[in-house]
């Protein structure tokens, strides 16, 4: 690797909030150690990270980063005491580049992130990919995959919108369970199978579904909520719930 393309250490001004990293493609261990003033970081040119390159940078609120398989976001903020610390506690806005596939549990429990935007199309999402992102409100993604896997967005309590399901044929178990702010769904007419409790404990009261859909069990709507989105009984009118069979 070209040595001039790797940043090994930075002695930054205590007032430095932003830095131009476009000349670098790699970051060394602790190269931004305790750069407390950093708020907005663009890592779109970086292709290689050391796990703790932002250790102690606890004011970063906006991050643009290239997706690198096997490296989770919180590892960039890790310190000697381990990965599970609060160094990324102020991270609110995350832009992800080149994330063709999002692995299992990749963003799981990133409780403070509010907005996630994917710049390029995403072909697959992993199990638990966004599980328990408690403050995730908006996700911008061009999703071209064919399924929403088990518990993918489970526990995203403030999520207001979900990915377009234009190519999705399978929604897994508990996929949107406990998304308590979610009140509407896109067209589900392309979906042929829905797992149990896929939309449990949401505010969803209407949807358009495929009449030939395969439900995992026969659990019915209860109290007008899509507790399971299961069974042919969905075709029975429930108080407070409107449905449309897709011709």
pLDDT value for 122: 92
pTM: 0.80
Instruction: Taking the CA atoms of 56, 88, 47 and 52 in sequence, report the sign of the dihedral they define.
Output: positive
Look at residue 180 in the predicted model and tell me its pLDDT.
Answer: 92
Contact between residue 12 and residue 31 where contact means Cβ atoms under 8 Å apart:
no
3-state SS class at 62: strand
How far apart, in whole angstroms, are the C-alpha atoms of residue 153 and residue 38?
30
pLDDT of residue 125: 94
Note the pLDDT of residue 140. 92
pLDDT of residue 215: 59
Rounded distance, CA 92 to CA 242, Å?
A: 35
Is-contact 86 63, C-beta < 8 A?
no
Q: How many Å apart are CA 89 and CA 150, to the nearest integer? A: 27
Please say whether the dihedral angle defined by the alpha carbons of residues 232, 234, 237 and 243, taken in this order, is positive or negative.
Answer: negative
pLDDT per residue rounded down to tens, the chain (247 residues): 443 476 766 655 567 788 888 888 888 877 888 888 888 989 888 888 776 788 888 888 899 988 777 677 777 776 544 333 456 778 899 999 888 889 899 889 888 899 999 998 999 999 999 999 999 999 999 999 999 999 999 999 999 988 788 889 999 999 999 999 998 888 777 888 888 888 888 888 767 666 667 655 444 333 334 434 433 333 333 334 444 444 3
């Amino acid at each position: 690797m070209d040595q001039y393309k790797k940043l090994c250490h930075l002695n930054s001004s205590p007032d430095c909030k932003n830095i131009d990293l476009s000349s670098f493609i790699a970051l060394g261990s602790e190269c931004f150690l305790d750069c407390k003033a950093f708020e907005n970081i663009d890592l779109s040119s970086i292709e290689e990270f050391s796990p703790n390159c932002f250790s102690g940078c606890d004011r970063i609120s906006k991050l643009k980063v290239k997706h690198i398989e096997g490296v989770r976001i919180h590892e960039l903020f890790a310190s000697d005491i381990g990965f599970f610390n609060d160094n990324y506690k102020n991270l609110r806005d995350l832009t992800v580049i080149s994330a063709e596939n999002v692995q299992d549990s990749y963003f799981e429990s990133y409780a403070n992130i509010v907005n996630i935007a994917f710049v390029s199309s995403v072909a697959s999402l992993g199990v638990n990919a966004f599980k328990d992102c408690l403050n995730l409100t908006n996700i911008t993604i061009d999703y071209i995959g064919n399924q929403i896997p088990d518990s993918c967005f489970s526990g995203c309590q403030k999520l207001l919108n979900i990915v377009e399901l234009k190519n999705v044929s399978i929604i897994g178990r508990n996929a949107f369970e406990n998304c308590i702010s979610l009140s509407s769904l896109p067209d589900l007419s392309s979906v042929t199978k829905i797992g149990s409790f896929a939309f449990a404990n949401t505010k969803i009261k209407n949807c358009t579904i495929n009449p030939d859909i395969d439900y995992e069990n026969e659990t019915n709507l209860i109290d007008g909520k899509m507790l399971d989105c299961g069974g042919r009984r969905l075709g029975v009118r429930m108080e407070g719930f409107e449905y449309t069979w897709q011709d």
